[in-house]
Each structure stands twice: as C-alpha cells, then as structure tokens.
Amino acid sequence: MADERFISVEGIARRYAVGDHVTTIFEDLWLALPKGAFTCVIGHSGCGKTTVLNILAGLESPSEGAVIVDGHEISGPSLDRAVIFQGHALLPWKTVLGNVAYAVASRWKTASRTEIRDRAQRYIDLVGLRGSEHKRPAELSGGMKQRVGIARALSIEPKILLMDEPFSALDALTRGALQDEARRLCAEAGQTVFMITHDVDEAIYLADRIVLMTNGPGALVAEIVENPLPRDRARDALHHAAAYYPLRNHLIDFLVTRGGAFRDNLPAGYDRRRPPVTTQWPGAPIAPTPMAMATNFATR
C-alpha cells in the first residue's frame, strides 16, 4: 500500500485518576495503519481498544503522545473520521432519511435541500433501506438501525471509518449480512477502517490485518497479523482456504494463553515502537504467493 503510516499512533498513553490512585490503561502505545487498509483490533475487555478508537475519533485526548492522520495531529472530532458505535446512536425524533440527511448537511453546508436529500437517499439505497425512509428508529429492527448508522457514517465520505463492535448485538444472519455490506461499501469507497471486535471469525473475514492487544491495564500491541487470505474472499468458501484454520488457531491461542502472559514476559527484542508483524505461524502453509493463494481459494 502506498502510505504505510497514513494513521500513526505515536507513544500514546491513557491514564485515569481516582482520588490518589492512577490507573494506566496503556502507555507508550505505537501503531501504524496503511491508507485503505481494513484493520481489526482484538483483545480482552479492559485492554483499551475502545479508548484507542475514541482517541482516533478525537472524542478523547491521550494523556501522552499523539495521533497523526495524513500528516496532521488529531486535536478533536472531524468529519474526515466517522464512527459507527456498538449502539446505533440515532436521533429518535428523526426518520431514517432525517438521520442520514443530518449528517450530509453537516458535511455539505451549502448544499440545497434537494442535493442533501438525494445524497442521503443514495446511501439509504446502498444499505438496502429503500422504502423505510420515513420510519423512525422505534419502528426499525436492530439490524435496520445499524444499517442507518452505516449509511449515516458513509454518507459524509470520511477518509477514516471507526467501528466499535457494530454488529455484536445482532443475530447471526443479520450480522453476516451487515458484515458483507460494510466490507463491500468500504472497499468501494477506499475507506481506511479501524474496527474493534471480539469475534475472531469476523476479524478473519473482514480484515487485511489484525492487531492483537495484551490484557490490561498496561496493555501493549503484542503483534500485528497480516491476513493471508485474498481481499476478494467469499464467506461460504472461507473455511476451505489452506491458511484459514492455522490463522484462526493462532488468534485464539493468543486470546486464551499468550495474551495474558505477553506483557509480563516480553519476548527478546520486542520494540514497542515497532510491534512485530506476523505473516507465518505454526501449521500455516509455507509462504504461498498472493497469486497462488487466490488460485487455491478460487478452486476449492
């Protein structure tokens, strides 16, 4: 990818003081994200994943360090960065069209009412909600509300899309459908995506790279795993890919065993500023070329 440090997390820390006691969620955290990449972050509750996302969004400030996006330090919220929360966070008094149009109007302040409505309608159509434009959130299912959230976030055409477990509360079929939509729409728009998930299979399906964080407090970025599966992967063929189960086992092994011990027993040579990037793991096929992987995947 052309810009390997489009987002550069540089030595950030987040501390909370309660009385005389200070809790360090994480400190001296470094992470570089390429432009156009879909990055998923996995780690146990309490490791600071959501705090990192909030700092990227400009909703929180780091206690130390800085986050640089496209050469500029983040100092607050920006329409270049959109957030899809775990909860839908819709305005209950506005319709589907009203919620999306509100975001569009915030982005294009001089647009006419017709232009705003047409742009909002285009994104409502993209997430499959044509016919529900005039319904309010109380009239929508959970999956439909999340579709509105996706449409609203994408409608402002942000450079960066931040997602905090947006599908975790949904049933399996709805979750799968929205994962498919989010992956397709983000790819078409060339979004740089930072997504938090506890679901290993979701990360494998969606991500180009998977960031593994150790247990908190005092969490670290232990490892960045490059997903070897082709970007045009298909859900129904995913488990047939030669690298799928070795990759899945590697991630689960980290969550179950390695993640808890990593922080207190740092591997020799570990550098916080350059977390190791893993492309091979026990049981994985021996370094297949991208073309060979795509061919294997397509013919299974």
Tokens 């096929």 belong to residue: 285
Token pair 């705090």 in the structure block, residue: 51
How far is the C-alpha of 142 from the C-alpha of 149, rounded, in Å? Answer: 11
Whose tokens are 């986050």? That residue is 67
pLDDT recorded at residue 183: 85
The pLDDT assigned to 11 comes to 94
Residue-level pLDDT at 298: 39
What's residue 232's pLDDT? 84
pLDDT at site 124: 93
The per-residue pLDDT for 285 is 67
Which residue in 60, 14, 64, 56 sits closest to 33, CA to CA? 56
> What is the model's pLDDT at position 262?
83
Cα distances from 93 to residues 75, 100, 106, 139, in angstroms, run 31, 13, 18, 11
* Residue 72: strand pairing partners: 69
C-alpha separations of 202 from 82, 110, 143, 274 in Å: 20, 39, 17, 26
Instruction: Give the other-Cβ count within 10 Å of 154's Cβ.
Output: 25
C-beta of residue 166 within 8 angstroms of C-beta of residue 146: yes
Residue where the block lists tokens 């795993």: 225
Q: What is the mean pLDDT for each group of 10 consecutive residues in the chain (300 residues)?
A: 77 88 88 93 89 94 93 91 87 96 94 94 90 95 89 91 86 83 83 92 94 88 92 85 90 87 83 88 60 38
* Residue 229 neighbours by CB under 8 Å, 6+ apart: 204, 238, 241, 243, 244, 247, 293, 297
Distances (CA, A) of 111 to 107, 174, 289: 9, 34, 48
pLDDT value for 286:
57
- Of 209, 186, 212, 188, nearest to 198 (Cα)? 212
> Who contacts 280 (Cβ-Cβ below 8 Å, separation ≥6)?
286, 287
Residues 197/42, Cβ–Cβ less than 8 Å: yes
